[in-house]
Structures are given as C-alpha cells and as structure tokens.
Structure 1
C-alpha cells in the first residue's frame, strides 16, 4: 500500500502451435501485461491475419450502432446522465467462425436498412434546406404581387428581381424599379423589382450592390410558397417515420448489436497481440509483467495451455527501477482519490504511493477551507442520496462516496468554528448574532472557536497543519530514500530541514517572538543545529540554498489559505444572513416572503463557489507544497491483457 504493488517480469518461450490456446488463457485470466519484444535474436511479431477481418466487422458494427444511437429515444433530465445497470447478454463459448457468422447474419438483416435510412434522411434534409431557401426568395417576391414567370427577358422587356443594399445608383438610372424594405435598422436591405426595355440589359447587369435572385416555377409567389410548405410538411412526416423505424431497430436489436460487437472486439484484441511477440520459424517469445502475488498462477496457466512445452522465466522486479508498470493497491475508501493522483502523475515503481495521505489531508484541508456545518450537511445528504439511489453508476457512486467524507468533515469543522450557514442559528434562532452555537470546555480549551472574531488562532492552527503536512512529506522522503538505498540523500535533502526547523524555530521564538527564554546551553544547541542545517543546505545547492529557504517559508505560509478561504465562506454566509434579516424592514410584507428565497439561493451559490475554491486550493497544497518534498511521479500504469466485458457474460 505504501509503495506500488510488487511486480514480476515474465518471459515465455513456446512453440507456435501452442500460441492460440495460450493467448486465449492469458486473455481470460487478465493477470499479465504483454509488452512488445525488443530482441535482436528474434524477429518482430506480426498481427494475426484474422485481425484485419475482425477490424472490418468491428467498423461496420460501430457505424451501424453510432447511426442508430442518434435516433434512440433519450431520457430527459438527470436520468440522461446516469448509466442504468446493464443486463448482460449470456453468450456461449464458441469458435471465431461462429462469431463472424453471427455478425454477418445481423449485418445482412439490418445494415442495408440502416444505411439506406440514413442516406434518405440526408437527402430529405438537403431537400428541406433547398425548399426553405426557395420560400425565403418567394417571400421577398410576394411583396410585389406578380407572377413568377414574368421575371426574365422577352422581346421588348426585361424584368429582374433581387436584393439591394444601396438604392442610390438605381435612382440615377433611366428605367423603372420598385422596392420594399426587408432589412432591419442594423442592416438596410431592399427587395427590388427592375422593369426596363430589353436594350438596357447590359446597363442593368453593371449595377453595383444588387444581387439578382432566380426563381423557378409558374404562378403567384404566395401560391408557390404554399406548395413548397406542403412539400416540406410531407418530407417532415417521411423524416419522422424513418427516424421512428431506426429507433425501433435500435430498441429491438441494441443488446444484440452491442454484444456481438464486444465479442468481435475481444477476438480482435486477442489477434492483434501477436505483434508484441518475438518469433522464430517454430517458436514465439512473449514478455510482460504481472503482480508478484499472481506469478505462480501465470506459471500454472502457461504450463496447462502448452502441455508443459515451454520455458518460462519469472523475475521479481527491483525497487531501483526495472521499468515495471504501476499497480496501486489502496483501501476501498481511498479509491476515489486515485483520480486526483492521476491528474498529477502516478508514482514510479520505486516511489511512495501517496494516495492515502493525499486523501486524508485533502478532506481535512477542504473541510477547514469550507468550514460550515450547514454546508457540510447539504453535501453529506445529497451525496448519501446519490450513493444509495444511483449506485449502478460507478461515476456517481465514486464521487458521492467522496462527497460523504467531505460532508462529514465540514460538519465537524463547522461546529468547531461556530458556523452553521454562517451565523444562522445565532441570528435567527437564538436572536443574538454574538451568541455561540454551543459552549463546552475540553482539556481547558473553550469550543467552538469563533473564526470571524478570532482569526489569529485559526491562522496559527493553519500554520501548524502546514508544518505537519510538510514534515510528513520529509518523513516519507526519508523512508523512500532508505528503500532506494540513497542514504546520503537523507542527510542532504531531509535532515537539514529538521535541523533548521528545530534550531531556527527555537531561536526565532526566543529572540523575535519572545514566546520563551532559552537557557545558554539550549540556545547553543539551537545555534549548532541551525548552522549545521544551513551548511548542509548550501553544500547541496550552493548559493541557491538561500532560495530553498525562502521557498520553504513561502510553501509554509501558503497554508494561510486555510484561514483565508474559511473566513471568505463564513463572511459571505454572515453577509447573506444580515441582508436576509433586514429584508422584511426594507420591503414590508413582501420581504417576509423574499427572505427565505434569498437565503436559500444565496447560501446555495456560496456553497458552490466556496466548494470549488476549497477543492482547487486543497489540491494545490498537495501538488505544490506536499509533493515537492518527496514525490515526482511519471510511472506507467499496469494495463493487463484482459477480456473486459460490459454487455456479455460468457457461459461455458
């Protein structure tokens, strides 16, 4: 748990005639990650010939499914975002030939219908767009109440219709024209009808700011508009019918399509893995990784699949890295925090897995920064409802589980810091904004702590949290260096800081802050510790050691954000309560109704904004301040060669 799971390197050499059975068994077990063999002694592997055939069926099935998905009946609201539990289709273990046969049969039955339907919908859409454009032209022409067939050239006359953005040039010409304004104030446009002798055609063609419109048909524009609208209506009905047919196909054949596609993908993955092998004329060489705890299971699978016609070598990876992939083994409660770790980087094989520490401190920092019991209850209740009601959705389940922890943390810190929707209880229930929610003494300490009126104490707590967090990073760094056998690094990277913190802290508390008075012997020890710490620091970093000290102080003071965000939450909540209290006096009668609405909306907005800030800043303290003490990251995730089924369940 403290380090990534132990991995073992596996090398398998076997005859080619054993390959298909071995690959199938390894694929089913999902215990081994198969790497590409890079060895000059053997040739590079080639993809199995069946992989290309399977890829073709996969693409055809994907295309049909993607088309049909566009026409499925969608659920509205939040239900559309939540994944429903999938009832897997039970499939028998069968040969590749049988699976391809089923895929071909399904495609033969529906592929043409779906593709023809999609093609017809595209044609209809194109036709409707054309008709709409024609209707727009006819709308402009209908302003003049003339027949469409009149537009054009005859022996003696020419009639042209179009759009103009400037009438000044037309007014200066020696022919008749009629116009109607069609633009708005921002864009001046006119529908223009030009009537002239045919001899003036060239002059008309030279007119600027005139875009001629061509319309086909006979009769009045308004009559043609009706015809085209009726035509659109018919196309829309046909479009609806085709969409309903496609939606019905998807409803009836959805699981069948998804199941056979999944089976084809599994077979394709099994055939494509051949390219990772090394090969000779008669043998295959397979290399990869598995969890050390599973190495003997892999050996047994190989022995059974090849009838012992193999040579298998298993070597446990060293912590001083062999390039092993990373598998993180965390407690169930810490699983949601793996996402935050992956956002930064997963650890290298010889690095500490900080997920548990990240999870605990993230919850603490978030709870201090938000620090309101009322907001915590909202987060807790909503998260608990989501966890219980939408447990089929892994995404919702994971994040709601995290929300439960954050909600509980905020309930605790909120009551510690005298904040329940700000001063809601004190102001509206007790009738005295200065009164504490409760009063209790524990080991001589009075609780709760009023964060608004006693910010210095909260700042002190925040800095103590910061010092603990930073030193936890140093301790983890020491342990990591011990495992790596980098003992010298401990005395260059971690020990100097402990000396400076102890020695420097004692001297500053004595001389500057006057918190205590050191005896001469104790002061001498503090001076020695400080000097040794500085020498070690400057020896490693040279003159830049000075910036290491200022950097550390900056990182430590960065934890003051715990106070800043906590005060921001409490201050905003208090301000909303004050406004809510004054509202009935400012707006008689109506204010009484508005007050609860204002408080609900304002507190909910404050909850969202401050939660976002608390989350971002809590992560920042992990990524910048904490990880900077010991963590680098950059590992490669362990991805086993494994059958992953979402829509099918194989029965023997």
Structure 2
C-alpha cells in the first residue's frame, strides 16, 4: 500500500516491428510514453499529423452523429444502465470494425448532413416567421411593396415610428412643407407604428423625400414584387414544405438508429488509432530503428521485457527515475476505492507518502458516523452489490461504487450504535399497529447512544475522534520530516505541537476524572509551550527569535478551530436521525385503514428516499472536507503527476483481457 517505485525505460526496436510493438504496448498499459523536446543525434521525428487529424476528425464526426441520433431517436436505457462497463470484444473483432469503418463514417456523414439540413430549415423557418410578421400589417395593400414610381407620380410605401390618424398625418406633412402636394392611404396604425402609402407628383419627389426623412419614414425591410397577401401565402407554403422536408430528414436519421453500436465501435477504433499515431509523433526514428522513452513501475519491468522480446527484436534499458517521474499508487481492495479521492485533490509528490490507506479508513469511519442509520447502510451495501454483480462496471466506476459500499458498511454499524434503523421505523410501526408505546432502546438488545439525548457525550466523542485524526496527520508529517532528515522540523515544528495537543487532551480528561491527571496534562502543555517559544524562532536573527517563538503560540487557535470542525460528525448524524423520525411520524398520521396504509407506504418511500439523497450527499461532502482541510493540511503537499500509461483509451469497447496476454 504505497507509491510504486518508477523506472525510466528506453526501448530500441526495428521500424518494421513498430506497428506490432506499439499495439501490444497499448494493450498492456505498462509504459507511459515520455515526450522529448530534443531529438537524439542521428534520429528525427516522423510527422504523422495529417493522418492523426483524419482520425480525430472521424472521432468528432462519430460523436456528432451519436449526439444527433440521441436527440432524434434516443436509445432506451434502464435507470441503472449508466453503471454498465464497456463491452468486451475479441481482439479479432477489431479487424472487423476496421473493415466496416469506411461505411460507418459515410453513414455518420449522412446523419450530420441531414441534421444540418434540419438546422438550416429551422433557421429558414425563423426568417419566414419574421417576414410573415412584417407582412401582417400590409395584408390590405393591393400593390407590391416594391412598387416603383410612374412617369407622373412618386410612390412611397413604408412606416412611421408613431401612430397617426388621417387628419394628424395630413397635418404633419403639411406642416413640414406647405408646398408639398400629396395623397396617402393608411394601411395599419398602432401605438408605435403607422403603415402608409403616399403619392406625390414626380416633380416633388426630392421635396417629399426630405419631408418624410424628417418625420422618421422608413421603407419596408422585406420589399416584394408580389402583393403582401400573395407573398404571405407563398411563404406559408414554403414553410409547410420545409416542415415536411425536416420530418423526412428526421425519419431518415432515425432509420440509422440500428447503427448506433457500429458507430460507437468505429469511434473507439479511430480514437485508439489517433492515440497510437500521437505516440508515433513523439518517437525518435532513424532509417532502420525507432526509440521509445518512457516510465514504468519497477515491478512491471520483467513483464515489459517478456512482452517486447515476444513481439519484436528490440533492446531495453532501465534507469533510475528522477523527481519529474509520474506517480502510480498501489493499494489493497479495502483502500483502493479511496485513490480517486486522493487524485481528486492532487496526486502525491515524490516527498509525500501515499495517504490513501489513512484516508480510506477515516473516510469510511466518518461517513458512517454522519449517515449513521443501519437501514440506510444495509440498503447501500445490498443495492451496490447487486449493481456491481449485474452491470460489471469498469474499474473506475467499480471503485466509486465500492467506496460507497464500504461507507454503507460503516453506516450500518454506526446505525446499530445509535439505535437507528430507518430512523425509529421499527418502534413507530409496532406502536402504530399494536397500540403499544415502546422505544428503539427497548427493542434493541444492546445499549445504544441516542444522538438527541446524549448530544453532549457524542460531541465529546466527535472532538476526540477529530483529535486522533489531526494527530495522525501530524504523525505523517513527523515521519516525512524524519525521512527527509529534517530533524528540527520533525521534533520542534511537529512533535512539540503533537505533545501539546495530547497535553490538552489529558488536561480535559483530568478535569472530569482526577486533579492528578489534570496537573499532568497542564504540565505537558506548559512544557511544550515553552519548547515552542524557544524553538519556533530558530531561523530568525536576534530578538526575532523570541518574537517568532511567542507568535507561534497563536497557532493554537487554529488547532482549536480544527477540532471544533468535527462537531459536524454530531450535527450530520443528528440530522439524519431526526429527518427519518419526522417522515416516520408523518407516515402514521392517516390511521390503520387500507387507505392509510397505502399513504403510509408512499410517505415512507418518498421520505426516506429524500433523506438518503440529502444526507448521503451531505455526509460525502463534509467527510471530504475533514480529509482535505483538517488532515491533509497537516502533512500533504500533492502536486504529483499521475502515471498515465499508453493504453486503449476507449469509451465503448475494451479488449478481452485473457486474449491480450
């Protein structure tokens, strides 16, 4: 349970074996290819960018086609289908997928073309709708909107940005220029617009243009050579035709729904090829050989040698990895699910220890204490077990599910300690139907700790657990300092604080038990405080040593704040139990008739589902906070680079493992 020691590796092989060797390396997931900016003397890079771009375009095309299919003809999936792992395929099936790839890409192109047609039609229909809205006010006009002047008459068709009546418009035009002769006909008038046709002598056209410009006259945005009524009819007919074309295109897209599996397989095929060509771009090539540089866990070196010697003529060299090497974690089945939480924060650096085992224990422990219901815990364990058994999820999803399954185990046992089984459901249901008055404490044959009645006790226990959690984090820092031979940091910066916290804990116990214990705790705390004052300013000069030492004591407030954060263990556990009890109480308010029983079942199902959803999420978030903020801050730096081997990074398919050995 630790970080695996990494080695550098250099593989020199014949170019004629490149394809076969890279395919086996990709299948094995043993080596992370190292990108090198400099090329060794006598070698050069092979530029396969154009081929790689073709593969990447095909991946993008298949993604677009699948997205269109999902919109037009959604795939019917079960509620839990998202947990299902990738489909296993025989290595020989990859060749079949490759042989069909060209035809599938043509289908994807057809799907995207049809979708583009639907999109273009939709845009055109928007334009038609806009034009129809503009023509609506001109429906009574019996001449085209783009009607031009005659030999004797100038024609103006357009709108004013305000409402006019016949009288007010005549007055406005006359007031602008009394010499202007005009006739007009108002087609439509509303609060902010007046549509009008104006006729003036052709000799006064320039005069009329100046007058109309002054009062905001504007020509129609969509003039037409047909009357507005005829134009609107044509546009409606065109819109109907576009709708029919769109429906036909969608039906044709839906006809390709049975090709969804082949499209997924083809996408993965091109994704794998793109990854391989990306790696080839990073390799050094000469006329006859090529060189692979990378990293590999030390325990996999023999596997790599056997693999390479079996499939190619090559030379392999291993070396010591530096601080820039990636990090790979290895943990047992109990702690491995928590690796994702560590990586979510940041992979460990080379100076860090692997915190996964500690994090896993405390994560399960604290989550269970917060969720703290035996019924909910048992439900988590059983349901997750069934999901894993039926759907056989991939490694990452499986680890995520196992994380919550182990949390469920902890939740179950904490629920037994708190006497909570779906809240107080057993007691409530028994009392409801039997007319009795019993409590969970009377039903359960073991002593329980009630978070509501024993809140103070539970608060003390929570803070005690928090102290242990913080001390474990500080102990890790102590170990790291010793490992780096930083003895001052280990004993003065970490050890003294650990002893001081222990001294305060002993002092607190002594206040409840014995003055002797109290004095021992106070003595330890005072001695550590003196030690901190004398040592925390050791890196400063002169009077700064004393000031630095005294100022360091202020950090005690930070530790007190950290300890108080663990009160959330009580708060979340109390919330889960109280909400469950409220739903149980509501469920029994409708009597024991068959109607009341139906309502009771509905309330219990919905209420406890809500309680599980809210408090499971709350327990997860707050447990993460306790790990990241309270413990990791004491010793963990992170910032490492995760080991990412050259592998089959497929989305839908995976090669059967037994066939790749």
TM-based fold match above 0.5: yes
Give the CA deviation at 1:450.
1.8
Q: Say which of 47, 52, 55 aligns to 2:53.
A: 55
In 2, Cα distance between the equivalents of 1:601 and 1:149? 65
Q: 3-state SS of the aligned residue for 2:532?
A: helix
The answer as to 2:636 corresponding to 1:641 is no
The answer to whether the 8 A contact 1:44-1:278 is kept is yes
In 1, Cα distance between the equivalents of 2:291 and 2:572? 58
Q: Where does residue 180 of structure 2 map in the other structure?
A: none
Q: 1:228 to 1:306 in 2, by over 3 A?
A: closer
User: Cα deviation per residue 1:307-339 (whole Å; 9 max; x = unaligned)?
Assistant: 46x3x432355xxx6332111112334443222
In 2, Cα distance between the equivalents of 1:172 and 1:459? 87
The answer as to 2:577 corresponding to 1:570 is yes
The answer to whether the 8 A contact 2:145-2:223 is kept is no
The answer to whether the 8 A contact 1:376-1:407 is kept is yes
The answer to whether the 8 A contact 2:536-2:552 is kept is yes
Give the CA deviation at 1:159.
6.3
The answer to whether the 8 A contact 2:65-2:108 is kept is no
Q: Where does residue 184 of structure 1 map in the other structure?
A: none
Q: 1:591 to 1:167 in 2, by over 3 A?
A: farther
Q: 1:579 to 1:17 in 2, by over 3 A?
A: closer
Q: 3-state SS of the aligned residue for 1:160?
A: strand
Q: Where does residue 236 of structure 2 map in the other structure?
A: 229
Moved more, 513-522 or 485-494: 513-522
In 2, Cα distance between the equivalents of 1:477 and 1:162? 80
Q: 1:126 to 1:300 in 2, by over 3 A?
A: same
The answer as to 2:631 corresponding to 1:630 is no
Give the CA deviation at 1:440.
8.5
Q: Say which of 247, 253, 275 aligns to 1:240.
A: 247
Give the CA deviation at 1:204.
3.6
Q: Say which of 618, 626, 646 aligns to 1:621.
A: 626
In 1, Cα distance between the equivalents of 2:226 and 2:300? 82
Give the CA deviation at 1:67.
3.5
The answer as to 2:336 corresponding to 1:332 is no
Q: 1:77 to 1:593 in 2, by over 3 A?
A: same
Q: 1:68 to 1:523 in 2, by over 3 A?
A: closer
Give the CA deviation at 1:606.
4.0
In the TM superposition, what are the counterparts of 1:502-651 in structure 2 within 5 Å?
Answer: 502-510=502-510, 513-518=511-516, 526=524, 529-530=527-528, 534-535=532-533, 538-539=536-537, 542-575=549-582, 601-645=606-650, 646-647=652-653, 649=655
Give the CA deviation at 1:288.
1.8
Q: 1:535 to 1:26 in 2, by over 3 A?
A: same
Q: Where does residue 315 of structure 1 map in the other structure?
A: 319
Give the CA deviation at 1:103.
5.3
Normalising by structure 1, we get a TM-score of: 0.79
In the TM superposition, what are the counterparts of 1:339-488 in structure 2 within 5 Å?
Answer: 339-376=340-377, 379-380=380-381, 383-384=384-385, 386-392=387-393, 397-427=398-428, 429-430=430-431, 435-439=438-442, 447-488=447-488
In 1, Cα distance between the equivalents of 2:99 and 2:48? 14
Q: Say which of 68, 71, 83 aligns to 2:69.
A: 71
Moved more, 520-529 or 538-547: 520-529
In 1, Cα distance between the equivalents of 2:192 and 2:399? 58
Q: Say which of 185, 194, 201 aligns to 2:196.
A: 194
Moved more, 35-44 or 411-420: 35-44
Give the CA deviation at 1:462.
0.3
Q: Where does residue 185 of structure 1 map in the other structure?
A: none
In 2, Cα distance between the equivalents of 1:5 and 1:22? 25
In 2, Cα distance between the equivalents of 1:110 and 1:580? 55
Give the CA deviation at 1:140.
3.8
Q: 3-state SS of the aligned residue for 1:449?
A: coil
Give the CA deviation at 1:74.
0.8
User: Cα deviation per residue 1:250-297 (whole Å; 9 max; x = unaligned)?
Assistant: 633x55555455444444433432443456787655432111111123
Q: Say which of 114, 123, 126 aligns to 1:126.
A: 123
Q: 3-state SS of the aligned residue for 1:472?
A: helix
Give the CA deviation at 1:66.
1.8
Q: Say which of 144, 149, 164 aligns to 2:144.
A: 149
In 1, Cα distance between the equivalents of 2:136 and 2:596? 52
The answer to whether the 8 A contact 2:59-2:271 is kept is no
User: Cα deviation per residue 1:378-399 (whole Å; 9 max; x = unaligned)?
Assistant: 5456545544554457676544
Q: 1:189 to 1:569 in 2, by over 3 A?
A: farther
The answer to whether the 8 A contact 2:419-2:448 is kept is yes
Q: Where does residue 293 of structure 2 map in the other structure?
A: 287
The answer as to 2:209 corresponding to 1:177 is no
Q: 1:106 to 1:393 in 2, by over 3 A?
A: closer
Q: Where does residue 269 of structure 1 map in the other structure?
A: 275
In 2, Cα distance between the equivalents of 1:99 and 1:437? 61
Normalising by structure 2, we get a TM-score of: 0.78
Q: 1:378 to 1:111 in 2, by over 3 A?
A: closer
The answer to whether the 8 A contact 2:499-2:525 is kept is no
In 2, Cα distance between the equivalents of 1:340 and 1:463? 24
The answer to whether the 8 A contact 1:481-1:490 is kept is yes
In 1, Cα distance between the equivalents of 2:41 and 2:304? 23
Question: For the aligned residues, what is the CA RMSD?
Answer: 4.4
Give the CA deviation at 1:619.
0.6
Q: 1:280 to 1:353 in 2, by over 3 A?
A: same
Give the CA deviation at 1:4.
0.9
Moved more, 130-139 or 260-269: 260-269
The answer to whether the 8 A contact 2:506-2:518 is kept is no
The answer to whether the 8 A contact 2:138-2:187 is kept is no
Q: 1:11 to 1:398 in 2, by over 3 A?
A: closer
Q: Say which of 207, 210, 228 aligns to 2:215.
A: 207
The answer to whether the 8 A contact 2:346-2:640 is kept is yes
Q: Where does residue 305 of structure 2 map in the other structure?
A: 299
In the TM superposition, what are the counterparts of 1:3-152 in structure 2 within 5 Å?
Answer: 3-13=2-12, 22-37=21-36, 42=41, 45-46=44-45, 48-60=46-58, 62-63=60-61, 66-67=64-65, 69-72=67-70, 73-75=73-75, 82=82, 87=87, 92=92, 110=107, 113-114=110-111, 116-142=113-139, 145-147=140-142, 149=144, 152=147
In 1, Cα distance between the equivalents of 2:564 and 2:518? 30
In 1, Cα distance between the equivalents of 2:417 and 2:645? 47
Give the CA deviation at 1:577.
5.5
Q: 1:302 to 1:232 in 2, by over 3 A?
A: same
In 2, Cα distance between the equivalents of 1:392 and 1:527? 52
